[in-house]
Structure 1
Amino acid sequence: MCGITGWVSFDRDLSKEMATLDAMTETMACRGPDDRGTFTDGPAALGHRRLAIIDLPGGRQPMTAETPQGTVALVYSGETYNFTELRADLMARGHRFTTDSDTEVVLRGYLEWGDALAERLNGMYAFAVWDGRHGRLVMIRDRMGIKPFYYYPTPDGVIFGSEPKAILANPLARHRVTLDGLRELFTFVKTPGHAVWDGMREVEPGTVVTVDRGGLRTRAYWQLRTQQHSDDRDTTIGTVRTLLDDIVRRQLVADVPRCTLLSGGLDSSAMTALAARQLAAQGEKVRSFAVDFVGQADRFVPDELRATPDTPFVHDVARLADTEHQDIVLDAHTLADPEIRERVLRARDLPMGFGDMDASLYLLFRSIREHSTVALSGESADEVFGGYLQFFDEEARRADTFPWLVRFRRDFGDDGDVMRPDLAQKLDLSSYVAEGYRTAVADIQRLDGESDFEYRMRRICYLHLTRFVRVLLDRKDRMSMAVGLEVRVPFCDHRLVEYVYNTPWALKSFDGREKSLLREATRDVLPKSVYDRVKSPYPSTQDPKYAVALQDHVKDLLARPGHPVFDLVDRERVRRAADRDTPVITQAARRGLEKTLDLALWLDLYKPEIVTD
């Protein structure tokens, strides 16, 4: 896991632009605290910050290979979980290796197969290859979009980076946000390729982007495709378990301390238990970590989203799996700390956060980093196996929009609720969301003979796997890499995603519950309490002191009437939320306060040029 950046300018010699390259590279220091390196070759300049995970002394980057036709250089972020098999294949083809790193396997794989290497990789990755033999840059991102990757076309080339901040450090990149960028900020829908900053793009998941003197070209090497599923229930459950055992085994490989994130839900519990079983066979124990809030277990109040606190279930799993467990307990003051808000926003580059859930995730990861460098997460199992409430909500199922928006508006309100009415009219968010939905569902293939209900559920699964999951993966990556922690997501293995996506909904929910396949595939390693537990989302603090702190911070902001945030948000609406009695403050009002504070901080730190004409 690392941070990468670079610049290709076919009209200049970038060896004379080292100060700019260094500035771009240093923005990635949090992603790679262990080492740094740069490379220039005429029109190409590459920068790298390293978080050492595999082959600690041998995986330095940028990594180069000299050929008779020119130098090929690689900057790589992520992990390739099948690098051992690929290495053996490449050695059989005559390649010789000088390190034990997966980075060199990717470099040699590119020399052998070109950008067709992408189809052979199993992992999470974002990497760029400067191919001096042909004068071109090749950028490749993993299938599910686990690792972030951005680029900014210029008149004579391109700038790229793991995060927008690396690109924005180059004077050629404008800090500008137009109406379309604001629409992304105020809708809970991540449009593929959209990066909010005007002129900036994402390398889309499963895509190769090639840049040479002839311009920029893209090629999708992977898409989520519809296939017939013929396995019966027992075979399907067995296949899921076989895949999970293999995935966890591969993702436990590291030369640094590992751990698991354990919430007490089905996903993280299954993953932790499988990891514990595999490591126990090697005489090792899993370290597990959970987030909790001061007094929440004792004073927990059930609501529509969360029926039970996490901690009792966490401890059941830790006992059964015999993990070395630690609860990270947070208080309201820390969650609302403006310094923590700033660190979270700098990590994300945009005010697109989840409030206290982002802050708690950042603080959890910061504490874990004191003990481990790699963590396995249960993220994405809900998207893969069908675990969210909206999968079972009839209104969400039938709505001709993104199904999670139906639930979110009901439970949390709308981010646009704090917006100035004149800006809301210009943005016309409902039309923007409707067009995004039409574009998304147009890509879905229907099986011959598939019933209307099964097809509707396929659409819901597809939307979660190609839109919703990318929001959460981006959040997970930014919060973890902000503290130099590599978080792996076993449930995003493309083999598992492809297989489960094509199982009919009747199989995904064969017992009338969420994630039936995952529950049955791992029931032998789960405590009964977790096996029987109803889905509970990532925890959020119920401490009223958190809302009071938000109100106090917003009141301080309201005392600055000239702040540019009030060009975006409705001052009076925000004032009413800040003055409301804490016991009756709604989730929507709380989110409005968090959104206002995030927007104000973003405007202070990034000073974007906002264009609303």
Structure 2
Amino acid sequence: MCGFTGIISFLGGRSISSNVVSMTEKIINRGPDDEGYLCLKDNFFSFRGDGSVVKSLPHISASFMDEFKIVLGFRRLKIVDLSNLGHQPMVDNERRFAIVFNGELYNYLELRAELIGLGHVFRTNSDTEVVLIAYKEWSNKALLRFNGMFAFSIIDRTTSTVFMARDRMGIKPFYYAKTNDNFIFGSTQKSILASGMVLAKISEQGVWENFKFSVAQRPHTCFESLKSLSPASYGVLNFRTGDFVEKKYWNIPVGTQDFSLTESQSKIMIEESLFKSIKYRLQADVEVGTFMSGGVDSTLISAIASKFQPDIKSLTLGFKNYEALNEIKEAQDTARLNNIDHIIETINPDDFIKKIQETVVAYEEPYHHLSANFAISSLAKNNNLKVVLNGLGGDELFGGYDVYKKLSFWEKNKKHKNVLKFFPSFHPKIKKVKQILSYEKIGQFYSHYYTTFSDSELGLLTGKIKNTDNLLEELYMDDGIGFSDNFEAISYFNLKSYIGNHQLRAVDSSTMSFSIEGRLPMLDHQFIETAFKIPSVYKNKNGISKYILKEVAKKYIAPSCLAMSKKGLGLPLEKWINNELSEFVGDHLSDLRNRNIFNNSYMDHIVKSKNTRQIWQLVSYELWLRNFIDNVKN
């Protein structure tokens, strides 16, 4: 788990190493344990930085006046193979290939054994070297053999190409900007801006998507020049011509439900697949813990993890003076049941409020809420954990959100939408029902439930008119894709949009802010493939959401966790806005009004309506402008 940066020059050679050093300084938090650089002329030249553990190399400053075709920067967080042999960037024995790799390859031991059997020789015990040699052996087909989370780049001197890839779900980030002269890439958006080669210019499309869906829909970002490599995709860049091609190598397996499966068979399949996924993610040369709320997903993962690793540390957040959000008791019940080393911390609003700007800088985009991921990652750091398991994915795969329950209403009643035209729309509920039933496509229905601002509201705010109801289908509905049912379609869009763009970004940016590696057992691609085979009738049965997953969980977690109504890992933003954060909110909205970029009278309407999500979206946007547009040095 690490971070990388890089600049590729199409001009045949430029003095770019100092730019890469500036970029790499922005990702120290992603890898505080080591620092390295690699420069390419006609051969590879390795350098160290101030934070390098390999002191025998020349310092990168010695290269500042030289011209190179490519320069790579790297910061390492030591998780697997703690020796200095895992130092990156890494070059193969023949000095044809070089790699920077961020993430974890969970099946690296099996692949390593297979590659040794094919005659390959390894110098390290790292998964990075397995990725490099697997690419040498199988080229892009190696991606289909990988089980893990990753983003990496491999330089091939012989073919003058750079191969770039991202894991199936997009757990690890990969951002880039392509100009006429250079290809600049990195693990964060702010590292690319630090290159000095990319302007921090607002993307109107990206910001519109951010306000509507809470995050710009990848490959878009809120910056005009920055893009994201798509999940389950690889790119090939010819660094002589500048030609860049991106291709997809995997997709979420819709249309694969096995309707012959019984409930009992489905339960066994899920349990076995989850056990395998968790066992994989406990592999590390450092201690592994878990994030554990009182809900089903994280308690189930923690309980199963404790079977492999007794007395595992599990971390739970509580909230002072906000008992309605607390899940401490339920988490304690499961911890006692499984002899888990349970660590609880209650959050004081004043302490978290001091860190709000840090969260905005870490997230790199405005967001309509405050994420508790930042607080619980800090707790992991304070308890000397470098790796934590997270329960993300259960709600999306098994129907844990309210949208799944409302799906049947839309399916049954949209045929009656013409009858509603005779009803007046002045009542908010009738107006809302009319809107919901007006949607013809499942992507439009999904978009409605994941919208912070509707297109019409954004029109009132910006003075511009757009229609993005079909955007998610345009971005994510590949040719020929077919859903078994609408329940499956909602899961698909949740994984593509909500998980792929928002949740994974929030988890990665939060954990890595504290040099913590977050691992996600329920987003293992094999577990996802298993979940999509399970008939939807077992996922929401007799009005019980996530029914089949809860049936698995009964064996491992406390009954109180199963009985608890869904709360989610959130912070009491609505309470804070009206109390501890009221002055903070007022000041930032006032500054946003003074920019005269929005309709200020409609902003006042939003404040009067007390729509917490919309208010905080505006506050967050002002914070983002200050940190990324007004002051690009941050």
TM-score, with length taken from structure 2: 0.84
- Contact kept, 8 Å, 2:206 with 2:217, in 1: the verdict is no
Query: Of residues 468, 475, 493 in structure 2, which corresponds to 1:463?
Result: 493
Label 1:194 to 1:502 Cα distance change in 2 as closer, same or farther (>3 A): farther
- Contact kept, 8 Å, 2:300 with 2:553, in 1: the verdict is yes
Label 1:264 to 1:247 Cα distance change in 2 as closer, same or farther (>3 A): same
Q: Which residue of 2 aligns with 1:303?
A: none
Amino acid at match of 1:151: Y
Label 1:348 to 1:138 Cα distance change in 2 as closer, same or farther (>3 A): same
Amino acid at match of 2:390: S
Q: Which residue of 2 aligns with 1:145?
A: 170
Q: After superposition, what is the alpha-carbon deviation per residue over 1:110-133, rounded to whole angstroms, capped at 9, x for unaligned? A: 111122211110000000111112
Label 1:183 to 1:542 Cα distance change in 2 as closer, same or farther (>3 A): closer
Shift of 1:484: 0.7
Q: Which residue of 1 aligns with 2:600?
A: 571
Q: Which residue of 2 aligns with 1:45?
A: 71
- 2:471 is aligned with 1:435: yes
- Contact kept, 8 Å, 1:151 with 1:200, in 2: the verdict is yes
Shift of 1:574: 4.3
- Contact kept, 8 Å, 1:369 with 1:485, in 2: the verdict is yes
* Matched residue SS, 1:567: coil
Shift of 1:499: 1.9
How is 1:68-217 mapped onto 2 (pairs within 5 angstroms)?
Answer: 70-188=95-213, 190-212=216-238, 213-214=240-241, 215-217=243-245
- C-alpha distance in structure 2 between counterparts of 1:345 and 1:545, whole Å: 17
Q: After superposition, what is the alpha-carbon deviation per residue over 1:483-537, rounded to whole angstroms, capped at 9, x for unaligned? A: 1111100000001111212322112224431112211223211112223334332
Q: After superposition, what is the alpha-carbon deviation per residue over 1:263-308, rounded to whole angstroms, capped at 9, x for unaligned? A: 110100110000011113xxxx1101111110222xx3xxxxxxx7
* Matched residue SS, 1:335: helix
- Contact kept, 8 Å, 1:402 with 1:463, in 2: the verdict is no
Q: After superposition, what is the alpha-carbon deviation per residue over 1:389-415, rounded to whole angstroms, capped at 9, x for unaligned? A: 111114566654455554456xxx638
- C-alpha distance in structure 2 between counterparts of 1:404 and 1:315, whole Å: 35
- C-alpha distance in structure 2 between counterparts of 1:445 and 1:531, whole Å: 35
Shift of 1:599: 1.5
- C-alpha distance in structure 2 between counterparts of 1:117 and 1:366, whole Å: 35
Label 1:329 to 1:92 Cα distance change in 2 as closer, same or farther (>3 A): same
Query: Of residues 349, 356, 375 in structure 2, which corresponds to 1:341?
Result: 356
- C-alpha distance in structure 2 between counterparts of 1:396 and 1:269, whole Å: 33
Query: Of residues 479, 482, 494 in structure 2, which corresponds to 1:446?
Result: 482
Amino acid at match of 2:292: L
- C-alpha distance in structure 1 between counterparts of 2:592 and 2:564, whole Å: 48
- C-alpha distance in structure 2 between counterparts of 1:206 and 1:289, whole Å: 31
- C-alpha distance in structure 2 between counterparts of 1:441 and 1:374, whole Å: 34
Q: Which residue of 2 aligns with 1:450?
A: none
- 2:5 is aligned with 1:5: yes
* Matched residue SS, 1:75: strand
Label 1:561 to 1:374 Cα distance change in 2 as closer, same or farther (>3 A): closer
Q: After superposition, what is the alpha-carbon deviation per residue over 1:538-575, rounded to whole angstroms, capped at 9, x for unaligned? A: 233278355323321233345558743x413x434545
- Contact kept, 8 Å, 2:318 with 2:326, in 1: the verdict is no
- C-alpha distance in structure 1 between counterparts of 2:291 and 2:27, whole Å: 24
- 2:266 is aligned with 1:239: no
Gaps spanning 5+ residues in structure 2: where? 42-68, 415-438
* Matched residue SS, 2:469: helix
Label 1:173 to 1:558 Cα distance change in 2 as closer, same or farther (>3 A): closer
- 2:629 is aligned with 1:607: yes
Label 1:608 to 1:219 Cα distance change in 2 as closer, same or farther (>3 A): farther
Q: Which residue of 1 aligns with 2:538?
A: 507
Q: Which residue of 2 aligns with 1:355?
A: 369
- Contact kept, 8 Å, 2:447 with 2:472, in 1: the verdict is no
Q: Which contiguous aligned blocks of 4+ residues in structure 1 show a shift greater than 6 angstroms?
A: 415-418
Q: Which residue of 1 aligns with 2:393?
A: 380
- Contact kept, 8 Å, 2:257 with 2:532, in 1: the verdict is no
Amino acid at match of 2:460: P
- C-alpha distance in structure 2 between counterparts of 1:355 and 1:422, whole Å: 19
Label 1:408 to 1:87 Cα distance change in 2 as closer, same or farther (>3 A): closer
- C-alpha distance in structure 1 between counterparts of 2:600 and 2:264, whole Å: 58
* Matched residue SS, 1:204: coil
Amino acid at match of 2:31: G
* Matched residue SS, 1:327: strand
How is 1:214-233 mapped onto 2 (pairs within 5 angstroms)?
Answer: 214=241, 215-225=243-253, 226-229=255-258, 230-233=260-263
- C-alpha distance in structure 2 between counterparts of 1:273 and 1:168, whole Å: 42
- C-alpha distance in structure 1 between counterparts of 2:229 and 2:308, whole Å: 35
Shift of 1:327: 1.5
- C-alpha distance in structure 2 between counterparts of 1:539 and 1:197, whole Å: 27
Q: Which residue of 1 aligns with 2:464?
A: 426
* Matched residue SS, 1:325: strand
- 2:377 is aligned with 1:365: yes
Gaps spanning 5+ residues in structure 1: where? 301-307, 448-453
- Contact kept, 8 Å, 2:292 with 2:298, in 1: the verdict is yes
- C-alpha distance in structure 2 between counterparts of 1:510 and 1:557, whole Å: 46
Label 1:311 to 1:142 Cα distance change in 2 as closer, same or farther (>3 A): same
- 2:330 is aligned with 1:330: no
Shift of 1:53: 0.6
- Contact kept, 8 Å, 2:207 with 2:216, in 1: the verdict is no
Amino acid at match of 1:219: K
- Contact kept, 8 Å, 1:341 with 1:598, in 2: the verdict is no
- C-alpha distance in structure 2 between counterparts of 1:204 and 1:560, whole Å: 35
- C-alpha distance in structure 2 between counterparts of 1:391 and 1:422, whole Å: 30
- C-alpha distance in structure 2 between counterparts of 1:363 and 1:387, whole Å: 24
* Matched residue SS, 1:115: helix
- 2:334 is aligned with 1:317: yes
RMSD over equivalenced CA pairs, Å: 2.5
- 2:92 is aligned with 1:62: no
Query: Of residues 271, 280, 283 in structure 2, which corresponds to 1:250?
Result: 280
Label 1:435 to 1:417 Cα distance change in 2 as closer, same or farther (>3 A): closer
- 2:308 is aligned with 1:272: no
- C-alpha distance in structure 2 between counterparts of 1:10 and 1:41, whole Å: 13
Give the length in aligned residue pairs. 568
Amino acid at match of 1:244: L
- Contact kept, 8 Å, 1:374 with 1:485, in 2: the verdict is yes
